[in-house]
Structure 1
Amino acid sequence: MLYFSAITVVCIWALQFGVVVMNPVTNIECDCSATSLESDSSACCVSEFPMVEPAVRVTFRNVPNTSSIIQVKLHSMANFTEIPSQIIDTFENLEYLELTIGLERLPLTRIPGKLKHLNLSGNRITSVDIDAFLNAPGLDQINLQYNRISTLADSGAFVGPNNLKYLILYHNKLTILKRDMFKSAQNLISLDIGCNEISTIEDGTFDLPHIKEILMSENKLKTLSDQIFNGAPSVQNIDLQKNLLDHIGKAFETTTHLHQLQLSENHHLHDLNVMDLTSKLPELISLSVDATGIQSLSTNTATTSITTQSTTSTSIQSPLHTLSISQNHLSQSDFLKQLSAFSKLEKLFVDANKFTRWDDADVRSIKKYFPNIELIVTKNNVWDRRWVESTLIPVFQTNNIFCSNIKYLNTYIEGFTNSIDGQIIEGTECI
C-alpha cells in the first residue's frame, strides 16, 4: 500500500495507562519543560496527551518553541464534539494530527490551517457532510478508518484539500459509491475502501486521473461494470479480495498499467480465464486468484493451445513474476507448459489444488521455462509420492528451487522471511 512516511518529530505524549478521571472543573497543566516519561500528567508534553474527561481543560506551560512542534496525538475515552481549541491555539504549525476522541460528526468547525495529515481513525463518525474539510486546504492524507461512516456527501465531502493524495475509509459501513463522491479529490493516488458493505459502484466513481491504488477487499461486490475503471488510466494496484464476484467481464481492459491484481477468495469466480486476463495486462507483475474455484488456466481449450504454441512471443510481453493460484481445482499434467508463457516467473503458489504429477519433461525444463524461478509452493495436493521423490524434489534441489516449506511459507505470505539474515532456514519439502 502507499502510505505517507513516518514523521519523526513526536511532540506530546504522556504514558497514561488508563483514563484520568477528574472533576469537571479540574484543569490539567502540562509542563512542557518536563523530560520524564513517568506516568503522570506533568509529562504530557513529551509525546501525547493524557486521556482526560471532556470537561477538563488542557493548558500548557513552559513550551520551549511551539512553532517547532508539528505532530500531536490525542487519545481519550471521552466524547469530544470537535478538536480541542487548546491544540489549535497552542500549536500553530501542526502538520500531523491524530485524534481518537469519540468524534461523531464531520465537518469539524476548526482544523489547523497548515495540517497535512489528519488521522481520525477509531472515532464514531457516521457521515462526512459537504465541505467537511473546507478549512484544511493543505491536507494530503485523511485517515477515517474504523469509524461508522455510511454516507458521504455526493460531491462535496472532500472539497477544500487541493492536493489530497491518500484517503483511507477502511472498515466503515458504506454500501454504495456514487459517481461524484470523489469528484473533488482529483489528485488522489491511493483510495482504501476495504472492509465496508459496498455492493454497488456507479460508473464514474473512479474517474481519478492520478489514482494508482484502489483497495476494495472484504466488500459485497458481485459484478464489475465494464466501464468501472475507464477513468483511472494510471491505476497500478487493485485489490478485490474477499468479495462475492462471479463475473469480471471487461472491467480490466482499460487498466493497461496495472502491476498488481488481487482477486482471491471470490469463491464463485469459476469462469475466470487467467491466460486471457494476463494477455490484456501487459505490465502485470503479480496476480492472486486463490480460492476462486477455477479448474484451469483458461476456460477455452483452444486459447490454451494457442498460448502454448506462441510461448516465445507471449513470454517476452508478460512481466508476471508472482502467481498465486492456490486452493483451486487445478489438476492438469501439462500445467507447467501452459505457464511457460510467463518466462519471468519467480514465485508460484499452487498449494491445495488437485495435482497428482506434472509431465516429467516439463519438470526437467523448468529452468528453461522460468529462468528466474525461486519458489514453488506445492503443499496439500494429491501428489504421487514416489514421483515427487524421484523427479520433483531432485529437479528442484538441482535448480535451487524451494518447495513449500511450512515454516517459511507461513511468514513469507505475510511479507517476511523466517530467518535472522534473510536466508530460508529449512530444507526442501514438496508435498
Structure 2
Amino acid sequence: MIVIGGGLGGLLVAALYPKVTLFEKTPTLGGRFRNLPYRGFQLTTGALHMVPHGSKGPLALLLRKTGANCTIVDSDPIATFYYDRDMRFRQVLKEIGIAQRLRLYLMVSEMCCKRGNSQSFQEYLEKRTCNTMVINGFRSFCIWALSLAPSDVSCCEMFSIMRSLVKYKGPGVPMGGCSGVINALKKVILEKGNNIIHKKIAEIRADEKVYGVTDEDGNEYDDSVVVSNIGVKATSHLVKFPQEYQKKIDALIPSEGIKYSLAAKESLVWHNGVMLTPGLQYIGGINQVTNTDPSLAPHGYHLVMAHQKLTSSNFKKEKRKGLEELEKLFKEKDYELLATQIHRKNNPVNQAASGQDLDQKTPIEGLYLVGDSTKGRGGIEIEGIALGVQRLTQIVPPSSGASVLATQ
C-alpha cells in the first residue's frame, strides 16, 4: 500500500496496515494536527490540542488499535457556557426555565432518534424554540466544533453529531498536544517496518485502476492500492477522475476560520474543557489546554486558544471583530496575543465542510481517500477523519493482503 500525505489520516492508515510506504512532501509529519513551537509555547498548525470525544471516541479507539502509546485526558466539565457570565450546563437549564428545558430535552431526544433531513439546522431550531439562549448555545457549538453557522449544517449531519456526543461524550486533551499523538503514531509505523519517505508525489499512475505513483524526481513506485490523505481536490491534480466525479469534487465548499493563541500568566478559563461563548457573536469557544498539560507553555504561563468562523473575505475586519470580543471577554485580565492564524482556501479548517464529505472509494479501482474531505458522518473534525479511516478498514481489511509492498 502507498499512502500520500503524512497528516493524521495518513499516519493512522500507515499505523494500521502492513507493508506501507508513506510519502510526505514536508520535513515534518502531522499536517494540520501538530505542534508549532513558538517562544516556548506549543501552538498548533491547525487543531486546538483537543480530541472532540476524548479517550472514548473514534480516534482514541483507533489509536488503541494501532498500539500508539499516547494519553488523552478527558475534560471535566465537558463545557461551560459564557452568556453574560460563565455558567455550568445545569445553570443554563435553570436560567431558561421549565418549559424551555422540556423543549430542549425533546429536541435532543428527536435528534438522537431520527436521521434528520437536508433542511438546515437553523431552520430546525427556529421551528422548535424561540429561546435565544438555546439558539445561541447551538450556534456557538457549531462555530467551535465545525467552523460553520447552524444555517450551513444540515439536520442530517447535526443529528448524527448529537448521536456521537451522546455515545462518546465530550472532549479531552492529548498529553504533549497534537504532536503527542503524531509522535506515537510515527513510532508505531517505524516499528511495523513501514517506510516514510519525505518526497512530493507528482503523479498517481492510473486508468480505470491504480498502478502506483511517481515522485518529484521521476522515481516510480508500483502498488495496486494507493490511499490519498492530501484532500480530494489536491488528489484530482495528480490523477484524472471521471467527469461526473470531478464535478462533485469541484462543488465541495471548505469550512474556514480564525484561531487566536493567547499567553496569560493568570488563568483565563478555570477548567480543562471548552468554554463555549454563546454570549459573543463571532468567537465560538475557547480552551485553556495548560490546565491539563502545563508543558504546552513556559513555566508560569497558560496557553489559551479561541476559534472564530470566517464570515467574509475582509480578514482585517474579521480579526478586529474577534480581538474586540476577546478584549470584552477578558477585560481587566493580563494576556498577550501570540498568534492569529487564518485557515482558508488551501489551508482551511476542513477541505469539505461537515456533511459534504465524499466516500473513501473513488471511481478508480484501488485508489482510496482519507482525511478531512472524506470524514465519517457525525464525526467532529479529527473524529470524522478517524471514522473515515475506520470505514477504509472495512473496505480494505488490514489483514486481507490486498496491498503490495511499494518498490522503487
Greater fraction of residues in strand: 2
TM-score by length of 1: 0.18
Q: Greater relative contact order (Cα 8 A, min sep 6): structure 1 or 2? A: 2
Larger Rg: 1
